A and B are shown apart, each in its own frame.
Chain A
Amino acid sequence: MSKVQNNKAWWLVLPVFLLVAFSAIIPMMTVVNYSVQDIFDQSSRYFVGTDWFRQVLRDPRLHDSLLRQFIYSACVLLIEIPLGIAIALTMPTKGRWSSLCLIVMTIPLLIPFNVVGTIWQIFGRGDIGLLGWFLNNVLGISYNYAANASDAWVTVLIIDVWHWTSLVALLCYSGLRAIPDVYYQAARIDRASNWAVFRHIQLPKMKSVLLIAVMLRFMDSFMIYTEPFVLTGGGPGNSTTFLSQTLTTMALGQFDLGPAAAFSLVYFLIILLVSWVFYTAMTHGEKN
């Protein structure tokens, strides 16, 4: 704004700028390029304008995937956010137990995505997986994620909850730590119930942290690829084929680069739009 300018700093930014351009901006421009051309092979390309966009937006397969994806993300948010908050509220704040707790919470976050998928794939198998075996033989519930669509859905959901709730919990935990003690003391003196303390002190003060948690979880879950792919390959049928997998099949499997490029741009815009909606909704209170 009106800070005294020192332009030498721009030189330090240049390498980063070049890197980002190289790895993100130029490839993205390529996608835009593909989305408005019909590519048969390297030498024969035709400009088709918005044809691919029109085709893609009417494709029922993509509509299905998109709907599935929205439902999935909604479920993820509805489970992980409250669960994360609840865990954060019960985590110990002082002493040895608190460090131990923090470490245990971090472990699921460190496991690579495909390993997570593989763990659960084996864990859920009816023959050699502990969970699968337990459910089928001890509890008598028939469970087969490979054959039963709803079982597959539930499993994919549980994988995500297991993998990522810790992130929400840790973010909320840090938000709670930042609340000065005086607020709790005043609430005690005002004889507020635990629920009142949660509603009037903790939740409002966690707002900024929750915003980050919601946006991160939404964006990540909306682009989910590895875990369902490793677990079920998208099946049974296409009950767990989410948007990114559909797109990848389209682009790399069928080599329909045009439509795939068009849809990835639409995909990008959807994420941007929904994130913006979340952000505005959660911060509009500040503007008042």
Chain B
Amino acid sequence: MSLTLEHVSRAVDGQIWIDDASLSFEPGSFNVLLGRTLSGKTSLMRLMAGLDKPDSGRVLMNGKDVTQVAVRHRNVSMVYQQFINYPSMTVFDNIASPLRQAKMSKDEIESRVRETAKMLRIEKFLTRYPLELSGGQQQRTAMARALVKDAELILFDEPLVNLDYKLREELRQEMRQLFETRNTIAVYATTEPNEALALGGTTTILHEGRLIQSGKTPEVYHQPKTVLAAELFSEPPINLMPGRIDGNEVSFANFVHFPLNVDLRTIGDGEYRFGVRPSHLSLVPSNDDDLELAVTVELAEISGSETFLHVRNEHFSLVLHLPGVHEYDVDTPIRVYIPTHKLFVFDQQGGLIQAPGLRMARVA
């Protein structure tokens, strides 16, 4: 079953919620919708499900136009942020409810429910009521109810956001494994770029109702087509510096000059915006053509496995994503190194001119 949206738009009370969105999902794919809150992820999912009708455009399932078909006639399941279960039914009945609607035989219902519960590791709780369970278990019940139906399209609207971060990690992994063998299309909405990276599949970036970029997750990550895509799909946020290329020299904000790197030679002269990922900056030079910058430390955020170092000079501020623990006091002067072969170059309108190639750094 494939899902296609053609030029779908929706406006409510004069405000545009979805602006000319077109996308296509393959059967058996896991697709992430990434964007900030109110960027249109939920609206888009509701249009895919058939809970709302688009003002213009078409929704096609398997090539058939289903834009006018009510949601109950489409084979769709949805899992929400707030763990939604029928409070007066046991977990077993909750999971069985869509099957009972479809009038399946009792035996088949029993076996399917048990199988799905086992997959989601809640088979011990089948006789309990949802409100007696913990948040993670309630959400698993909601997911089991969505999965047992074997729908062609399953939509997840930020389902893990109300759970502990550790529980989130575990459930993410389980979800990936759950979908590996199925032929359903899964669509998962999230605000966190790291979640998109962890879940893989394809990622579609949304901003203010528009689709910014769509494609295989590693591609979208490594090759953002616009500055906006690079900013939205990056946590911590990508470092951006205005600069210009003049003949054989690159300068940032008119104070830092360095010779044009091999990779950048094909770009013409002019004003550009240069981007560099926080994880590519380092405290030691790793290459001959690394750019050295003198900065002062604003803040060191230490999380054990990594440190986020916020630094600034009088022209711009940068964030570094360093492995391990690096303790620094505020206002300490240090030097950071920007590997020039890892620079992104964007034009003034924000379009991508060049993304760094994926070659490995030469160890100095």
Contacts and interface: CB of A to CB of B under 8 A. Distances in A.
A and B directly contacting (CB within 8 A)? yes
Contacts of A2: 10, 52-55
Interface string A1-14: 11110100000000
Interface string B59-102: 00000000011110000000000000000000000000000000
Q: How large is the interface on B (under 10, 10 to 19, 20 to 34, 35 or more residues)?
A: 10 to 19
A6 B69 CA distance: 10
11 contacts: A2-B10, A2-B52, A2-B53, A2-B55, A3-B52, A3-B53, A4-B50, A4-B52, A4-B68, A4-B70, A6-B70
Interface in A1-30: 1-4, 6
Nearest to B47: A2
A4 B70 CA distance: 6
A4 B71 contact: yes
Given A4-B52, A6-B70, 8 more contacts: A2-B10, A2-B55, A3-B51, A3-B52, A3-B53, A4-B51, A4-B53, A4-B68
Contacts of B50: 4
Interface of A: 1-4, 6
A6 B12 CA distance: 21
Nearest to B52: A2
Contacts of B70: 4, 6
Interface string B33-68: 000000000000000001111110000000000001
Contacts of A4: 50-53, 68-71
Contacts of A3: 51-53
Contacts of A1: 12
A2 B55 CA distance: 7
A6 B50 CA distance: 13
Closest 5 A/B residue pairs (Cβ)? A2-B53, A4-B70, A4-B53, A6-B70, A4-B50
A6 B53 CA distance: 12
Q: Which among A1, A3, A4, A6 has the highest number of chain B CB atoms within 10 Å? A: A4
A3 B69 CA distance: 11
B309 to A, nearest CB: 35
A1 B55 CA distance: 10
A3 B71 CA distance: 10
A2 B9 CA distance: 12
Nearest to B71: A4
A206 to B, nearest CB: 26
Nearest to B53: A2
A4 B12 CA distance: 15
A188 to B, nearest CB: 27
B30 to A, nearest CB: 27
A2 B12 CA distance: 9
Nearest to B13: A1
A4 B52 CA distance: 6
Nearest to A1: B12
B362 to A, nearest CB: 56
A6 B51 CA distance: 12
B350 to A, nearest CB: 32
Contacts of B51: 3-4
A59 B22 CA distance: 70
Contacts of B12: 1
A1 B71 CA distance: 16
A1 B54 CA distance: 11
Contacts of B71: 4
Nearest to B12: A1
A1 to B, nearest CB: 8
A6 B72 CA distance: 11
A180 to B, nearest CB: 16
Interface string B180-197: 000000000000000000
Contacts of A6: 70
A9 to B, nearest CB: 12
B339 to A, nearest CB: 48
B280 to A, nearest CB: 43
A281 B90 CA distance: 47
Nearest to B67: A4
Contacts of B69: 4
Interface string B4-24: 000000101000000000000
Q: Which among B12, B51, B53, B55 has the highest number of chain A CB atoms within 10 Å? A: B53
A173 B138 CA distance: 31
A62 to B, nearest CB: 44
A213 B209 CA distance: 41
Nearest to A4: B70
A2 B68 CA distance: 10
A148 B51 CA distance: 66
Contacts of B68: 4
A3 B50 CA distance: 9
Interface string B253-297: 000000000000000000000000000000000000000000000
Contacts of B54: 2
A25 B70 CA distance: 34
A58 to B, nearest CB: 47
B13 to A, nearest CB: 9
A1 B12 CA distance: 9
A3 B68 CA distance: 10
A197 B52 CA distance: 42
A104 B52 CA distance: 47
A3 B12 CA distance: 12
Nearest to A2: B53
A3 B52 CA distance: 5
Contacts of B10: 2
B50 to A, nearest CB: 6
A197 B308 CA distance: 42
